[in-house]
Chains A and B, each alone.
Chain A
Amino acid sequence: MYRYDEFDAAFVAGRTAQFADQVKRRLSGELSEDQFRPLRLMNGLYLQLHAYMLRIAVPYGTLSSRQMRKLAHIARTYDRGYGHFTTRQNIQFNWPKLKDIPVILDELASVEMHAIQTSGNCIRNVTTDQFAGAAVDEIIDPRPVAEIIRQWSSLHPEFSYLPRKFKIAMTGSPNDRAAIRFHDIGLQAAVNAAGEIGWEVWVGGGLGRTPMVAKLINSFVPNEHLLAYLESIMRVYNRYGRRDNKYKARIKILVHEEGLESIKGQVEAEFAEVRGGVLTLPQEELDRITAYFAPPDFADRSGDKVDVAYESIIDPAYGRWLDNNLHPHRVPGYASVTISLKPVGGAPGDATDTQIDVVADLAEKYSFDELRVTHEQNLVLPHVAVADLRAVFDVLVANGLAEGNNNLITDMICCPGLDFCALANARSIPIAQEISHKFAAPERQKEIGDLKIKISGCINACGHHHVGHIGILGVEKKGGELYQITLGGDATEGASVGKIIGPGFEAEQVPGAIEKLVDFYIANRTSADEPFLDAYRRLGEAPFKEALYGTV
């Protein structure tokens, strides 16, 4: 994985010193909160309901065990013994003190980490497929280009005060696991007629109040021109994105209001000016960065196999875990392992300092010192030898991390909600907990199969409810909390936004409502091989609505 050279290290140290000075000026009162806000935000520091929250960047979701241990140390020393992994592949700490922030940033810098641009109206951490560099279905590992974009966008002087935040996601696989069509810019690896690898550029996707599927603005941008193309989009957005209303300030609204053709015309005109200029990426530079992401030294273990059916009989929990939490690796005899942060009754994405340490140890011992954070708030050991799976599983069991529920109904995305967030209208974690209790039985989860539930505590949609096969949105109604249910969302290459199908429910009615939908699906699917989303698409909204609300 990428390692800082002297320049990177000095850059982060310089930035940390700069922010330490800004914190000092805020504490002394020289900076007002209004002046401090955009500065702290660009360093990942939020003011939540009652305390500061520090969001730390995990660039493209990749961590070493050393970095992971540092996160455990921060959780233990400066927070309340846990961290929360987010849908942006970052980690956030909910209780740091302002005066400790510079020290925490120093600690992070010592392991080549930072919190730069994890918030604020700038270009945020680039996210990608959690199985990048490991997945069998990948065209190319997107991380070298993600690293180059990270460098180009870091403290960009022209694009630090955009109309609104700006998120880029990329995937090297045709099977989109990074939700690229719901980002401001999504990049999908593509191969042109000459057999060269480049990028499809999608623009104007997003969730929030106004969910939109991104539109294809260019079907092939070669690596050498990618930065120039991105800068062209950024400049058009910086100049013409709306600033009169923060809810209409994302690029999706600009693209929607002006139309793709108009925006494309402006971007292409800008690109014609900057193409071939200083941002041209030479192959040597791409090669230099790519070398950092060279595959680890895999052994020939192609003979190693695991018999899932057999293991399931011996130890059903292990069998379930094998069944659900492995992803095919491009090297025979290896697998990518998803470590679920969704135990029944837990807060999705939370991990204790001990658990973080344990995962770091596992990565060091069994995964070539590498691990990943997924946008679905789980962790991944990308390169585990099949022969080591049992050993990994046993350690996970001992630390409450062995839930074999990846992609099942209890593997929910969930925002922090009203329990933590200043924006929320409703609680979301307790809803996730109730649902996971309702569907706790493993047999039941297996019967239901792939089903993604995503929960947001307000319209800002941090819990991605719009793209849940079943989405749950908490709203405030007459002083109480009410939950709307959406159906048919999809974050992958089949991108679609879920639809609200009827009136909302009280919190305690939500698990029952989900159960009605699930029961209807099971009764009406063509076979156990037809997943919920396919059944919904085949049957349409009406019968599900009837199942949920009864006949009119």
Chain B
Amino acid sequence: MAQSSLAPAAAPAAHEKLKALGILALNGMFDEMDAVSVLRYAITEVLPGDMAIVSSFGADSAVLLHMVAQVDPSLPVYFLETGKHFPETLDYVETLKKQLGLLNVHAIHPNPDDVKRFDPNGDLWETDPDSCCHIRKTEPLEPITEQYGGWVTGRKRYQTSERGVLPHFELTSDDRIKVNPLAYFSDADVIEYRQAHSLPEHPLYAKGYKSIGCAPCTSAVADGEDPRAGRWRGLNKKECGIHYDFNGAIASPMSAATRHTLWKDGAFIADPFKEWAEGANPSEARYVHVPMAEFLANREAYLANPHPLGLKVSPGDAIEEAADDLARFASIAISFPAFTDGRGYSTARLLVERLNYAGEIRAVGDVLQDQIPHMWRCGFNALVVTHEPTREALKEDRLPEMALFYQPVGLSEVPMGTRPFLRRVS
């Protein structure tokens, strides 16, 4: 465990300092590729004695650490010793320390009580990687980050699309400064620098590991693949959480117990419908939402099928094409692959207001609490919800709902023939 006494006391509010300097001016001061100058200025001018670096000692950590060693070998370097690293990574920590002459490297360990409580078998990464990152990275790092006014990171613009606009100097929402000397470095720049300075390579790099984190959640990437594609492969996860923001906690540990996800009439209930499987026989399908294209391609067979069926409408499908057959379906699932895709709202209104469909209309996909009130107004009457905070909000009846509407929508909000701005309180 890192000793907090090793770190200097927090300097006067970094934000004040930054205001005086003007972060905008800082970002214009340096050539995009002049990482060493950015680093030197940050360490010696912006926050002398009040900066540190967290390094993963991963595939491309050597470059930034080499720069650190040139500018100030005694800069505190923290390493998240999650307990899940490849042995090669731990060797690599020692190699770099020695070869670069880093004087102030500290390992940060997870809280043993948290590990015992949330990950007694050491397999949390498998069921809930967000929580695993949380107890092994985010939580242990927090007391350390609080001690510094600023941090050096090795993040680069090319790494993930979320990082596309990364500048050299950033202000976090809790008034700390993040310095990203390598913001403009490409993969090729990193390799070139490493070769130019004969820096040791991570032992796994040659085996195809281009971005290296904990062993269970890292896999090799193919040639031409995004270097970070090997992190949390197969999961919709790109960051461990420590880079979102210092106060941006990620999901807390929770049980993975099976649960009902269909919300209808004020409760989560058992869902009679199952996932539709590609290639299923149209005449044998039952209790599945048949995708629109599949239904249209095998319309006769589905109409002859005696079992309860649903229809799945995806963005881009024109619901009018099934207008004559809607009565056939007990449920229509309108999918939201991303909550930002608003086509489903139009589909729902057309179903209710124009096509007179009176059955279940459920929203599936990226269904979040902030959109649900819109969904109710557009005619949805059921939701499939997996997002935990949204589930909680539904159960506790605290959706961010507006009680007042300006515009009439649906069949009931304003009776036909009355004035459009007859305002209704829900």
Contact = CB atoms under 8 A, between A and B. Distances in A.
Contacts of A18: 400-402
Interface stretch (B204-212, B271-279, B335-343): B335-343
If over half of B's interface residues share one DSSP class (helix, strand or loop), that class is named, otherwise mixed; here it is loop
Contact of B346 (A50, A239, A282, A422): A239
A494 interface: no
A155 B402 contact: yes
A331 interface: no
B340 A161 contact: yes
Given A49-B24, A238-B345, A238-B346, A98 B173 contact: yes
A422 B408 contact: no
Contact of A157 (B245, B377, B418): B377
B365 to A, nearest CB: 13
Interface in A40-55: 49-51
Among A97, A239, A419, residue most surrounded by chain B Cβ atoms (within 10 Å): A239
B241 to A, nearest CB: 9
Nearest to A95: B19
Contacts of B167: 49-50
Contact of A279 (B341, B389, B408): B408
A282 B417 CA distance: 10
A235 interface: yes
A155 B28 CA distance: 39
B346 A273 contact: no
Contacts of A419: 24
B99 interface: no
B403 A14 contact: yes
Given A7-B404, A11-B402, A161-B342, A282 B419 contact: yes
Contacts of B407: 151-154, 156, 279
Contacts of A15: 402
A419 B24 CA distance: 6
A39 interface: yes
Given A14-B403, A21-B400, A32-B248, A280 B345 contact: no
Interface residues of B, number: 57
A121 B340 contact: yes
Contacts of B423: 7
Given A14-B404, A162-B342, A243-B315, A227 B374 contact: no
User: Chain A interface residue count: which class?
Assistant: 35 or more
A251 to B, nearest CB: 14
A247 to B, nearest CB: 14
A517 B306 CA distance: 77
B416 A277 contact: yes
A27 interface: yes
Given A154-B406, A158-B349, A238-B342, A35 B245 contact: no
B340 A281 contact: no
Given A35-B368, A158-B409, A279-B408, A285 B169 contact: no
B169 A10 contact: no
| Interchain residue pairs A-B with the least CB separation, the first 6 | A161-B342, A29-B249, A157-B374, A157-B377, A278-B408, A158-B345
Interface of A: 7, 10-11, 14-15, 18, 21-22, 25, 27-33, 35, 38-39, 49-51, 97-98, 121, 148, 151-162, 227, 235, 238-239, 243, 273, 277-282, 284-285, 418-420, 422-423, 479
Given A14-B403, A151-B421, A158-B345, 6 more contacts: A11-B402, A50-B23, A153-B407, A157-B378, A243-B341, A273-B354
